[in-house]
Amino acid sequence: MAPEDSAHLATIGRIVESKIGQWRNSRVAPAPSVIFRSQDFKLTFHQGTMIANDISEAGQPRQLECALSDDEFAEVQQAVGKIVEDSAAPQPHK
């Protein structure tokens, strides 16, 4: 779980947004090394590829993919690791 204002979540969002116009239909089923889920979609990351599963505007499931550089993949891995660390940390009582 990551809060909406998470800087690590923003890193992943920035990378996803940078890929606008680069997505293509996909039927790839890799064994992902990083999985990121929200209520609306699932992103899986495998060295060199980001795969998004969501629902199209017509209500049909779809899968899209785009290429990732090694640096982008490393950024995603680090951001997800930090999200996991932060979510495992004890929360202060209010």
Q: pTM (2 decimals)? A: 0.68
Does position 93 have pLDDT exceeding 70, yes or no?
no
pLDDT 10s digits, 5-26 = 888 888 888 998 999 899 898 8
Q: What is the rounded distance in angstroms from the CA atom of residue 80 to the CA atom of residue 55? A: 23
pLDDT 10s digits, 15-69 = 989 998 998 988 776 666 667 777 777 888 877 888 888 887 888 888 889 999 9
